Amino acid sequence: MPNPAKPAAASTATRAEQHLDEALQCGTVEMLGIPGAICPHRACRRHRRCGFILSTDRSPACLAHLMPEARAFHDRLLAAARTQVADLQNAVSAHIRATVADDPQMLAVSEIVRRVQPRGHWLHAALPFWGKFARSLQALKRGNGKDRGNGDV
């Protein structure tokens, strides 16, 4: 029987939000290649995917083995991914800006956010399409497109 003195949900985040945050943390760890490199769990190394979440703070177990600089970089990527996932409508424009600026950190954040979305989500098709579009526009502006911009092949 639930305790009437405590509310049913002790945290302000819903279960779906907690699951999304766990997925973002695991996606960030996987993007950095940590499960295959330094994770102490054999299953994570074998599958190159994060499989062990600590029950205390709901973070991947391998984060404890990161050096301080790597942990700071992970935290920056995670913060950017949390910001981008909160505003999915602007995720495509952020991805295009990162593609044009050739910013690998923001491209990684876009990929983390895309992979966290459920199957069939519009972002799975949109980000690759708009990334290719931005790269093709850059090639045409530089003049190294196939048709040199005038239709001749």
- Report the pLDDT value the prediction gives residue 2, as an integer from 0 to 100: 43
Question: Under DSSP, is residue 67 helix (H, G, I), strand (E, B) or coil?
Answer: coil
Specify the DSSP class assigned to residue 60.
B
Taking the whole predicted model, whether its pTM rises above 0.85 is answered as no
Domain count, the chain: 1
Answer whether residue 61 is part of any domain.
Answer: yes
The sign one gets for the Cα dihedral 29, 59, 13, 20 is positive
Structural domain for 63, as ranges:
15-142
Q: Which residue has the higher pLDDT, 109 or 148?
A: 109
| Number of helices (H), then strands (E), in the chain | 7, 0
Q: What is the pLDDT of residue 109?
A: 92
Assess if residue 122 is contained within a domain.
yes
Cβ atoms of 74 and 84 closer than 8 Å: no
Confidence of residue 6 (pLDDT cuts 50, 70, 90): very low
Question: Residue 138 burial by CB count (10 A; 0-12/13-18/19+): exposed, middle or buried?
Answer: middle
In a domain, 21, yes or no: yes
Q: Is residue 2 one of the residues assigned to a domain?
A: no
Residue percentage of the chain with pLDDT more than 70: 85
Residue 114 has a CB neighbour count (10 Å cut-off) of 20
Mean pLDDT of all residues in 39-61? 79
- pLDDT tens by residue, 82-108: 999 888 888 888 888 888 888 899 999
Cα–Cα separations (whole angstroms), residue 79 to 21, 25, 97, 138: 11, 10, 18, 29
Q: Is residue 3 part of a domain?
A: no
Domain annotation covers residue 68: yes
Whether the Cβ atoms of residue 61 and residue 52 lie closer than 8 Å to each other: yes
